[in-house]
Amino acid sequence: MLRLLGTRCTRGLGSSVPARPATGLCLPGRSQSRRASDMPRNHPPSPELVARSVGICSMMRLPVQTSPEGLDAAFIGVPLDIGTSNRPGARFGPRRIREESVMLRTVNPSTGALPFQSLTVADLGDVNVNLYNLQDSCRLIQEAYQKIVAAGCVPLTLGGDHTITYPILQALAKKYGPVGLLHVDAHLDTADKALGEKLYHGTPFRRCVEEGLLDCQRVVQIGIRGSSMTLDPYRYNRNQGFRVVLAEDCWMKSLVPLMAEVRQQMGGKPLYISFDIDALDPAYAPGTGTPEIAGLTPSQALEVIRGCQGLNVVGCDLVEVSPLYDLSGNTALLAANLLFEMLCVLPKVATA
């Protein structure tokens, strides 16, 4: 009976295909060579038929598998927080986001998106990071994502601190070349170094610029705010060609017009979405390591992500959820919903 419930929960009700074992990227697994179009679609189970407390703790209670082969998109956890500069705890973000994702359902009535009727999606578990060595962790992340991207699978990442975006973009650039970037954050993340170190969660996009991973004329940063050590903290970014949209320029307004401009700027070339949960005001998302007041609202976050529909999105991440400061679970719940919205704007997703 337990085996039956597990199968129903992870494969979707009515499916005769057995669930894959609950393992992740860190463990060896059998390669799946069939094309995604030849495989049955995975569907999160309906809470009307399977209780939300039943099943393994995967993203949206999707199947967990070890290989990206045969998948159009996948959720991946990167439980790393040794690049943080203030409050730690983002290593527990992927697990908590998965727990809260039990509230998510299969379609998006607001946009008409039908992701699970369009794509084969699974949870690939977590990258086996090295919590004692940030450089080695970046190597492990890059290697894992190279395999995912090479398989034609679009990664949707559960962070982890923002350092992880750097090795992910290294992997993506090997396939796509320099990509556009939609970066939603309270912080620029283009510092050069801190305490003598050039790699931490405040430097990923400086390192990306130096390595030519970004198409700098197609980089937009939204939600930037907070105190600074200089009066012009945006100079480096704007000198690279980035568009920097301050949080105060978003106050009390819809971001739909802004996203129309972003879509025009991004065109049809590959685009990566990197969303730091601290872009949102800490009244909505307190569970993060470097909170800044007067941020975006959840409705504005939805406008930003939904505004990417029709763009050539090749990967996404949601980072910096720290459950230690998220007593209600609302930050992780918000993160889970934003990841679902990212899934809904992937290029192959049909709309009703």
Structure tokens at 187: 């912080």
Binding-site entries for Mn(2+): 162, 185, 187, 189, 276, 278
CA angle centred on 128, ends 124 and 133, rounded to 5°? 150
Residue type, 176: Y
C-alpha span between 160 and 188 (Å, rounded): 17
Closest C-alpha among 251, 316, 319, 317 to residue 288? 319
Give the contacts of 213 (CB within 8 A, at least 6 positions apart): 169, 170, 172, 173, 178, 179
Q: How far is CA 139 from the centre of its chain?
A: 19
| Beta-carbon-side half-sphere exposure of residue 153 (alpha carbons within 13 Å) | 28
**Sequence ranges of the binding site:** 162, 185, 187, 189, 276, 278
Residues 6+ apart with CB under 8 A from 317: 155, 156, 157, 158, 159, 160, 164, 165, 168, 273, 274, 275
Return the ∠ at Cα 284 (arms to 293 and 331), rounded to 5°. 120
Bridge partners of residue 154, in order along the sequence: 73
Yes or no: say if 80 and 131 are a contact pair by the CB < 8 Å rule. Answer: yes
Only one residue has tokens 């999707």, namely 62
How long, in residues, is the chain? 352
The radius of gyration of the chain from alpha carbons, rounded to an integer in Å, stands at 19
**Helix ranges restricted to H, 211-313:** 235-240, 256-266, 298-306
> How many CB atoms neighbour CB 140 within 10 A?
20
Per-position b or e across 158-172, b if 16+ CB within 10 A of its CB = bbbbbbbbbbbbbbb
